[in-house]
Structures are given as structure tokens and as C-alpha cells.
């Protein structure tokens, strides 16, 4: 058995995947890599780069793109590591990661482990501003810990702190738990709630950071953000974990726009108050990231993400049952 198996599901992002592979240098030899071309063909160059990292590589390809959970479950069938490392093809391990991680893998009390993602250098203004906005509680609420380090030491975690782009799970914990195969977004949250319900011990370490490239155009955000809200609503009805009422807030935010039809002066007052709060929330993180010019864009993305998420949430709550099961075919 290998120390760990890294699973990467990829589709159409060869340049980012190449950077991800370059970062997978744990300093040990006894690990396995599984690359799944999800409706995509893995190039000769990527295959060669993977073989240079470890002698234990499995290449998988499926002709038709699978939902993310189904793709990961398929790849898990080839995994032989004691630990499974799920990392996205647009993420990369940051310096110091392996020094923190490897001792933690020896701790018997840990069964699930993860940390935050972080912005990477070289992103365009939209991607950089999105990374800043996602780290703000005013944008992502209780899940902001996924995008910004909280604390300094190992701590117990839950599904709101961990993310599938940077997730470690003991293979023994997967005997009775798998990813949902009909979710197009949020499948990792359902998965983590099932692990918690199975009494697995989840932990978070703020120094286990990966870099995460963000989408570079606003249009690219519409579908994944909508699906994030849609499947959060569905998960709240189906998943075994606790229900956090805070996830209703984006939907309530969307409905508050109806005030404009009933009382325009009140709507304008509330809008000015909201803009003031969001601008205030955007200044500190943008300056900390040394990107003060992005403050207006960060503030706008606070609004954009919450509104589109709320629309997706409401769509699940109001759509006919036959449409609720699956609003699309890809993310």
C-alpha cells in the first residue's frame, strides 16, 4: 500500500494541470498518482510529466464528461494509498505544504484533513478580485474559512471549512461513504457531511494551503455560482448533516430586491447601506493583497456572487420536481 494516492480529475485545462503536477513533489517515493481525463484526452506531454513524478501512475479516460462526484468515485476504484488526496486540476501545492502535512498523516486520530486555498500570482483582475471576495464572510459566509487561513494550529473541522480542491481522506473511511453522483456542484459538502455522520474525525490546518486559479471572466462565474446555490438548497433537504439557516440569506437578499417595486425610497436607502458595508468589507482584504485598485471590483463581486447564488437556491425551491433533479449537464 502506498502512503497516499493523489487523484486529479481534469477537463480542458492542460496548462493549469501542468502547473498542478509541477507542485506535487512530496519528497517521498511511495505514492500513487491517478489522472482522470473527464471527457478529455490526456496529452503525451502530461503523461510524460506525470511519469517523472512517480513510478506509480494510473491514467484513466472517459469519453463522456461525468459529474464531479461520479468521476471521483470512478478514480477511487484504482486507488491503493492509505490516504487519498483530492486536488483540483486548477490548484497547486504551495511551498511548505508537505513539511506540515506528512507528520499529520501519521496521527491516528485524523481521518479527514484539509486546509484553505489561496490566490495565485498571475491571475487577471477578475480572478484576483474573485479570490479576495471569496475570502470575505460578507460574500461566502461561514464557508470563508475555505479561502482564507483561520487560526494557526490544527483544529477540528466541519464541511463548511474543508474543500475538495485540497482534501485528504483515509481510504479506510471510504468503505461506507462515497461522493453523490448526481450533484453538479457542492458534492464535496454532501460527502463531508456523510463522513461526519459516519463519526469520522475531520480536521483543518491553516498552513495546509494550496493555490487556486480563479475564473478570469464574469460570464464564466454564472453557471458554477448558480449551481452552488441550487445544490446547497438540495443538499439542505437531502444530506445527513445539520442544516445551517444562514444559507437562506442569499435567497432572502434576492427577494429584498422586490422592495424596489413597492417602496423605491426605502430600496435606495437599503441599497446605499449595503454598498457602504460591502465597500468597507472590500478595502481591508484588497489592501492586504496589495491590490487596492481592485476594491470596486471586489465590492461588485460580493454582490454578484451572493445574488446569483441566491437565484440558484430559489430556483431549486420553486422549480418543478422533474427539473429540480438536474438543471444542466455540466459545470
Report whether pLDDT(1) > 70: yes
Q: Give 329's pLDDT tier (boundaries 50, 70, 90).
A: very low
Task: Tell me whether residue 330 is in a domain.
Answer: no
Tell me the average pLDDT across 277-299.
Answer: 95
Dist CA 159 CA 145 (whole Å): 10
pLDDT tens digits, one per residue of 181-198 = 999 999 999 999 999 999
- Grid cell for residue 176: 461506507
CA dihedral 80, 25, 87, 1 (to 10 degrees): 10
Task: Tell me whether residue 135 is in a domain.
Answer: yes
Tell me the average pLDDT across 137-143.
Answer: 93
Tell me the average pLDDT across 131-136.
Answer: 96
End of a domain among 186, 217, 248? 217
138 and 273 housed in the same domain:
no
Tell me the average pLDDT across 232-250.
Answer: 87
Tell me the average pLDDT across 81-106.
Answer: 97
Report whether pLDDT(331) > 50: no
Report whether pLDDT(91) > 50: yes
Q: What is the pLDDT, as a whole number, of residue 150?
A: 87
137 and 269 housed in the same domain:
no
End of a domain among 217, 236, 261? 217
CATH number of the domain bearing residue 56: 3.90.550.10
Task: Tell me whether residue 329 is in a domain.
Answer: no
Which residues, including other chains, have CB under 8 Å from residue 201's CB and lie 6 or more apart?
A: 109, 110, 111, 112, 156
> Which residue did the predictor score with more confidence, 51 or 323?
51
Tell me the average pLDDT across 207-223.
Answer: 96
Which residues, including other chains, have CB under 8 Å from residue 205's CB and lie 6 or more apart?
A: 100, 104, 113, 114, 115, 153, 154, 155
Q: Report yes or no: 38 and 59 within 8 Å, Cβ to Cβ.
A: no
Give the mean pLDDT of the chain.
Answer: 93
Tell me the average pLDDT across 104-133.
Answer: 96
269 and 192 housed in the same domain:
no
Q: How far is CA 208 from CA 94, 109, 217, 265, in A?
A: 8, 18, 28, 48
What sign results for the dihedral spanned by CA atoms 40, 45, 51, 54? Answer: negative
Tell me the average pLDDT across 91-107.
Answer: 97
211 and 268 housed in the same domain:
no
Task: Tell me whether residue 100 is in a domain.
Answer: yes
154 and 280 housed in the same domain:
no
79 and 111 housed in the same domain:
yes
Boundaries of domain holding 198: 2-217
Task: Tell me whether residue 158 is in a domain.
Answer: yes
Q: How far is CA 38 from CA 46, 137, 191, 232, 309, in A?
A: 14, 33, 20, 24, 26
Q: Give 322's pLDDT tier (boundaries 50, 70, 90).
A: low
Tell me the average pLDDT across 134-153.
Answer: 92
Q: What is the pLDDT, as a whole number, of residue 321?
A: 64
Domain count, the chain: 2
Q: What is the pLDDT, as a whole number, of residue 245?
A: 87
163 and 180 housed in the same domain:
yes
End of a domain among 201, 217, 233? 217
Report whether pLDDT(219) > 70: yes
Report whether pLDDT(74) > 70: yes
Phi, psi dihedral angles at 267 (to 5 degrees): -60, -45
21 and 9 housed in the same domain:
yes
Q: Give 330's pLDDT tier (boundaries 50, 70, 90).
A: very low
Task: Tell me whether residue 331 is in a domain.
Answer: no
208 and 225 housed in the same domain:
no
Query: What residues pair up with 195 in beta bridges, in sequence order?
Result: none
End-to-end CA distance of the chain: 34
CA dihedral 75, 224, 50, 111 (to 10 degrees): -50
255 and 110 housed in the same domain:
no
141 and 230 housed in the same domain:
no
179 and 249 housed in the same domain:
no
Amino acid at each position: 500500500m502506498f502512503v497516499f494516492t493523489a487523484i486529479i480529475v481534469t477537463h480542458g485545462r492542460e496548462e493549469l494541470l501542468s502547473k498542478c503536477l509541477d507542485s506535487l513533489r512530496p519528497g517521498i517515493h511511495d505514492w500513487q498518482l491517478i489522472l482522470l481525463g473527464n471527457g478529455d484526452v490526456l496529452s503525451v506531454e502530461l503523461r510524460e510529466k506525470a511519469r517523472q513524478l512517480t513510478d506509480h501512475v494510473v491514467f484513466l479516460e472517459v469519453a463522456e464528461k461525468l459529474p464531479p462526484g461520479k468521476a471521483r468515485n470512478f478514480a477511487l476504484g484504482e486507488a491503493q494509498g492509505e490516504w487519498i488526496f483530492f486536488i483540483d486540476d486548477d490548484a497547486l501545492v504551495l511551498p511548505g505544504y508537505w513539511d506540515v502535512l506528512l507528520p499529520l498523516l501519521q496521527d491516528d486520530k485524523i481521518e479527514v484533513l484539509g486546509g484553505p486555498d489561496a490566490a495565485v500570482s498571475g491571475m487577471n483582475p477578475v480572478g484576483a478580485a474573485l479570490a479576495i471576495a471569496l475570502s470575505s464572510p460578507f460574500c461566502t459566509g461561514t464557508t470563508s474559512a475555505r479561502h482564507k487561513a483561520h487560526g494557526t494550529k490544527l483544529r477540528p473541522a466541519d464541511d463548511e471549512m474543508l474543500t475538495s480542491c485540497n482534501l485528504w481522506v483515509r481510504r479506510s473511511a471510504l468503505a461506507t461513504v462515497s461522493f453523490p453522483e448526481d450533484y453538479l456542484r457542492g458534492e464535496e459538502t454532501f460527502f463531508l457531511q456523510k463522513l461526519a455522520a459516519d463519526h469520522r474525525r475531520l480536521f483543518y490546518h491553516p498552513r495546509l494551503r494550496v493555490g487556486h486559479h480563479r475564473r478570469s471572466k464574469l460570464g464564466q462565474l454564472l453557471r458554477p455560482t448558480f449551481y452552488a446555490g441550487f445544490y446547497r438548497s438540495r443538499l439542505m433537504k437531502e444530506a445527513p448533516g445539520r442544516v445551517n439557516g444562514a444559507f437562506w440569506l442569499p435567497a432572502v437578499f434576492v427577494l429584498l430586491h422586490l422592495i424596489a417595486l413597492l417602496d423605491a425610497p426605502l430600496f435606495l436607502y437599503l441599497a446605499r447601506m449595503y454598498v457602504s458595508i460591502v465597500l468597507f468589507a472590500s478595502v481591508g482584504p484588497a489592501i492586504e493583497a496589495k491590490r487596492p485598485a481592485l476594491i470596486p471590483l471586489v465590492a461588485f463581486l460580493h454582490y454578484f456572487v451572493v445574488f446569483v447564488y441566491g437565484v440558484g437556491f430559489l430556483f431549486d425551491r420553486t422549480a418543478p420536481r422533474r427539473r429540480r433533479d438536474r438543471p444542466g449537464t455540466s459545470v
